[in-house]
Chains A and B, each alone.
Chain A
């Protein structure tokens, strides 16, 4: 099967500001992908490139094997829910479903109506009068109702309260299972995504820092506590993500794609949240020259 998203040295620049730098990804199909990163890391840019609303300034991207937004057929295969879930304020809920039905050949009116009924939305209500959560649900219904093979959701739960977040994600997972859709959803909070994602991309300062299946990420990362020493004194094959030193002790967060060798240290697994936060705090990818990095983060 073709990859959900394949990117080679993908870059996006607005004037002199780099929103995305040298992004290379290959996401296998059938995943619910979490896209995490601090605000302004380039999450929205990556999603907009993937749906074809933006065109890259360098590199290449293909989604489900095609150029994003290259025609009606490609548009039909990819659903996109923009940040803040924009809807037509003066159109009613029912009008939005009609919009979906008129503009999409594969539209599933039955699914959309069931979903609206389940959400207890009044079809006659103007979308402008809905709460933030209801608006997000309506926009998701329109995006999912066209039965895309891939759903791209940009911060879909950002405006929701904790209860509504849980409900939204539960609903999302139900419709994903029902249609067998792949999903990429972004958030600046890993706690939102942890429960639903099985693949994770961490974007920091316009660069991809981490992209892999959640299980493999968890298996490869460890926190090592040992007597004080420099990172160079650790065995080869271990990549140090973060280091912290006290007078007598050193704490490292390390990545090792092979099982961690035994040593004179205590090793423990990290929670997803700790791991992502570590990557976000240590935005500077060690081997890269500092000058290039400061350019990228400006």
Chain B
């Protein structure tokens, strides 16, 4: 059975290995250059204490390759599901070759186990190598950015790609077994996989672990870190201030400005301070950026605050494990369904 499995996977494996090797060579070369620039940039800018611009420039320089590499890592599980998973059994059923396979002296269950096991292993291995490469490659850029919660970062680093690949592969096999035709099975695999990825990334992920809440008081120190200030047109509307959360955290939501009792503060209550800041800005001249510091100082006596709902930076690894676990469990469930189905399948 091992021979047949290998023989049927041979062409695809060689192709995948060649693509992987080319990609690896590209990443190893550019990655080494990137690391070299990063170390030398860091050394020179730390001496001058002006790292922000220089490192930003480095990020910009590698933006293109980073997009490409992350796209490949994100696309790999889908491709694995479509080209390895879906045709694995569907092609046999479509061409009737399962009649030949199932009438050798090997039970269907063993046949499925061999075919599924080897290809699943290959799928996870490919995803693992890709993820390892990109995680190493993007290390300096991730360090500059200081936040690993972005979709491109979280979905294309460390162990999540392995879970995605296992799930996509099992999904492809199961749909192939259900639909029994290669092309529709491939299309269905892509559709379902994309839907699941979007639902998990945009919806489920935030709730995989209970979020934390922090309260940030509004004063000169916190407001000087403020990114944006939004007052409502109507004087009764809420006031929104984007304040940076804890370092490296994934900000899920920020409340509007609240007073001591936790009630939403209307725009009318901050208007005096707001116009005061605008006047200061006008008198300081066009070139000077006043920042929100003075606004914070003016508002401080009112004892206002903003509630920030977030996942802490330290949650990164637990969340990686939980999400990978969720996908792996789904893959296991689908695999179980395949074994259940193959015994009852009418040839």
Contact = CB atoms under 8 A, between A and B. Distances in A.
B99 A53 contact: yes
A139 B106 CA distance: 17
A88 B97 contact: yes
A89 interface: yes
Contact of B103 (A14, A73, A78, A95): A78
B7 A91 contact: yes
Contacts of B118: none
Given A82-B100, A98-B3, A103-B1, A146 B105 contact: yes
Interface string B1-22: 1111001100100000000000
Nearest to A100: B104
A89 B95 contact: yes
Nearest to A14: B346
A80 B105 contact: no
Given A95-B7, A102-B4, A103-B1, A86 B97 contact: yes
B317 interface: no
A54 B105 contact: no
Interface in B97-124: 97, 99-100, 102-107
B347 A48 contact: yes
A79 interface: yes
A83 B103 CA distance: 13
Identify which of B95, B102, B103, B346 gathers the most chain A CB atoms within 10 Å of its CB: B103
* Interface size bracket, B side: 20 to 34
Interface string A63-99: 0000001011101101110111011111100010011
Contacts of A73: 105
Contacts, number: 74
Contacts of B7: 91, 95, 98-99
Contacts of A14: 346
Nearest to A82: B99
A103 B2 CA distance: 9
A54 B346 contact: yes
Contacts of A61: none
Contacts of A83: 96
A100 B103 CA distance: 10
Contact of A51 (B4, B103, B346): B103
Contact of A146 (B97, B104, B344): B104
B119 to A, nearest CB: 16
A142 B102 contact: no
A55 B102 CA distance: 14
Contacts of B100: 82, 86-88, 99, 139, 142
Nearest to B11: A90
Contact of B106 (A48, A75, A98): A75
B107 A103 contact: no
A228 interface: no
Nearest to B5: A102
Nearest to B3: A102
A80 B3 contact: no
B105 A104 contact: yes
Contact of A103 (B97, B105, B344): B105
A227 B96 CA distance: 55
Given A91-B7, A102-B3, A79 B103 contact: yes
A103 B106 contact: yes
A105 interface: yes
A8 interface: no
Which A-B residue pairs are the 3 nearest by beta carbons? A86-B96, A103-B104, A53-B347
27 contacts: A51-B103, A53-B103, A55-B344, A69-B102, A69-B107, A72-B106, A72-B107, A73-B105, A75-B103, A75-B105, A75-B107, A79-B103, A82-B99, A84-B96, A86-B99, A87-B97, A88-B97, A90-B11, A91-B8, A99-B104, A103-B1, A103-B4, A103-B104, A103-B106, A106-B105, A143-B103, A146-B104
Given A84-B96, A104-B104, A105-B105, 18 more contacts: A51-B103, A53-B103, A71-B107, A72-B107, A75-B104, A83-B96, A86-B95, A86-B96, A86-B97, A88-B97, A90-B11, A91-B8, A99-B3, A99-B7, A99-B100, A102-B1, A103-B4, A103-B106
